[in-house]
Structure 1
Amino acid sequence: MRAGWRRGLIELRQSFTNGPELVSHFLWPVLMLVALFFLRHRDFGATGFRLGALALPSILGMNAAMGMVSMSQLLTADREDGTLLRAKAIPNGMAGYVLGKVVSVAGGLVVDLAILLIPGLFLVGGFAVGAAHWFTFAWVLVLGLVATLPIGAILGSVFTTARSQGLIQLPMLGLIAISGIFYPITALPGWLAWIGQLTPVYWLGLGMRSALLPPEAVVVEVGHSWRHLETVAVLGLWAVAGLLLAPVVLRRTARRESGSKVAERRERALRRVA
């Protein structure tokens, strides 16, 4: 546990001292702030609520859910370069490795959310920022990370090369499109709204909206309710499923790793470059 914690903090610090990774930390939040700037004065229908105010909490939830993609990409890259094999070779190495990834990915996500949230509160306005709201924000974020990061670990174990990560990106973009991020899910056709509500992305967005928006904004939600109990139930189910499956899948993946497979993947990568 101590080694995994230290590993995660080292990786987190490195991500903020590395040029390309530093750009990635700021690029997406800045693009979202630009989108919010153009939405800040647009109303949602006849409700009188600003579309920018409805979108900011949803974008925060989407960013938290995208942690599963980051986790998947990191695990896939570590399989290719032999990092996962080295972790398997030492006592309790896999446990320390997974903990380190959780610490680094979750820490990076929290910083990314702060980069977006703090300017966004001033740019858009109209948010509720009392102690109870921040408490809701905290438990939704923690539960959302527990629900999504194990899924990322599973996906990183399934896909064997970094080139195959595109197979994850496309479905994620589709889920984001129907999850009520940029427009309330009640404006979508009923069957699409039901599909969107099966994913953790929607419930993270809903939980963030319930934390930051004033109570009267609930009229744009399904059933005119923030549905906190349903949020806990759905995210909890995703968390339990991920926590049960991820260790099994990771152990099977680690058992299949060998020096010859790492060398074979390295040769294929060199041939692609050449």
Structure 2
Amino acid sequence: MNALALGVDRTVLELKMYSREKEAVFFSFLFPILMLGLFSVIFGDDMESGGAQMSAAEYFLPGMISAGILLTSFQTMAMSVTAERDDGTLKRLRSTPMPAVSYFLGKVGLVVVTALAQQVLLLAVAKFAFGVDLPDTAGRWFTFAWVFGLGAFAGTVLGTAYSSLASARSVGAIVIAPMLILQFISGVYFAFTDIPSWLQQIASVFPLKWIAQGMRSVFFPDVMASLEMGGTWEHGRTAMVLGVWAVAGLVLCVLTFRWFKRGTT
């Protein structure tokens, strides 16, 4: 219970520190919301895809949600843990009585709170600013919940593991560049069917493609499932791929996490 209570306190502290980092807040929290607004204004007219008519906001919403999940989990964890390792924060924390699990609970709390807040704000903007009809069935919201949960967990542990590859000076390029590439090839900014097949195969290896496909199944009409690679929403495969990444990320996190900078003890 002490570790849990300290984890809650650590979550509050993490949120305070996060709110002071304007660049992190913009790129991981506000970026998908601003992009949805930008695409909705640029492509404001109704769009037709797979025999369904929808507004630009409706079309791009699943992709923005998916990008937001990985930005607030993977990117936030990779950048914050790297910075704390390089500036000695982790070394100092390791020498305190605080259990290591409390530190990680604080990071998980940061991801959960920011990711949920981002999704609520993004859905509110879509609903009230651009008139997007949100799902009205429990089944679709259940799909939203498990895709969100698996995606956020996978992003959190993968981001923690990825932090071991970078230094504070290089973390921006090492994290942001791959994330941008994945967003472009995973059906976030373009229809997945418009992406060359060899890039589709590459994207299918990584979680973002499956998060985006899962979110399309929540917000798109069922007739559009025929546009996916498998011709269906493939919920089973989506859960399997995200689950494998979550387990693999957890294992990598345990094996690679370092409290100290390279060359220090």
TM, length-normalised to structure 1: 0.84
Aligned to 2:80: 74
Deviation per CA, 1:197-246, whole angstroms, max 9, x where unpaired?
Answer: 11101111111111222222323222321100000010001001011110
1:138 maps to which of 132, 145, 150: 145
Paired residues of 1:137 and 1:212 also in contact (CA < 8 A):
no
Q: CA deviation at 1:45?
A: 5.0
In structure 2, relative to structure 1, the CA distance for the partners of 1:155 and 1:38 (3 Å cut) is same
192 and 42 in structure 1: CA distance in 2 versus 1, 3 angstrom threshold: farther
Cα distance in 1 for partners of 2:39, 2:193 equals 21
Letter in 2 for 1:7: R
Give, in whole Å, the separation in 2 of the partners of 1:163 and 1:31.
Answer: 25
Q: How far, CA to CA, are the matches of 1:235 and 1:22 in structure 2? A: 25
User: Structure 1 124/206 Cα, relative in aligned 2: closer, same or farther at 3 Å?
Assistant: farther
SS in 1 for 2:47: coil
**What letter corresponds to residue 117 of structure 1 in structure 2?**
L
Per-residue deviation, residues 174-201 of structure 1 (Å, max 9, x unmatched): 1111001122211211111111111101
Gaps of 5+ in 1: 263-274
Seen in structure 2, the aligned counterparts of structure 1 residues 69 and 217 have a Cα distance that, compared at 3 Å, is same
2:224 matches 1:217: yes
The residue matched to 1:223 in structure 2 has which SS?
coil
Measure how far apart 1:19 and its partner are.
Answer: 7.8
Q: Tell me the C-alpha RMSD between the 2 structures.
A: 2.4
Partner of 1:198: 205
52, 56, 63: which one pairs with 2:61? 56
Whole-angstrom CA distance in 1 between matches of 2:253 and 2:24? 29
1:115 matched residue in structure 2: 121
1:179 equivalenced with 2:181 (yes/no): no
With 160-169 and 130-139 compared, the bigger mean Cα shift is at 160-169
- Percent of counterpart pairs with the same letter? 29
The match for 2:99 among 76, 93, 96 is: 93
8 Å CA contact 2:225, 2:232 repeated in 1 = yes
Question: 1:71 touches 1:101 (CA, 8 Å); kept in 2?
Answer: yes
Range with bigger deviation, 112-121 or 233-242: 112-121
**Per-residue deviation at 1:34?**
2.4
Name which of structure 1's ranges 148-157 and 210-219 shifts more when overlaid on structure 2: 210-219
Name whichever structure is richer in helix by fraction: 1
Aligned ranges 1:3-22 → 2 under 5 Å: 3-13=6-16, 15-16=18-19, 18=20, 20=22
- Runs of 5+ unmatched residues, structure 2: none
Whether the aligned pair in 1 keeps the contact of 2:185 and 2:199 (CA below 8 Å) is yes
Q: How many Å separate the matches in 2 of 1:202 and 1:23?
A: 23
Which structure has the greater CA radius of gyration?
1
Deviates more, 1:45-54 or 1:93-102: 45-54
Aligned match of 1:227: 234
What letter matches 1:39 in structure 2? F
Counterpart of 1:83, as a letter, is T
2:11 maps to a residue whose letter is: G
How many angstroms does 1:36 deviate by?
Answer: 2.3
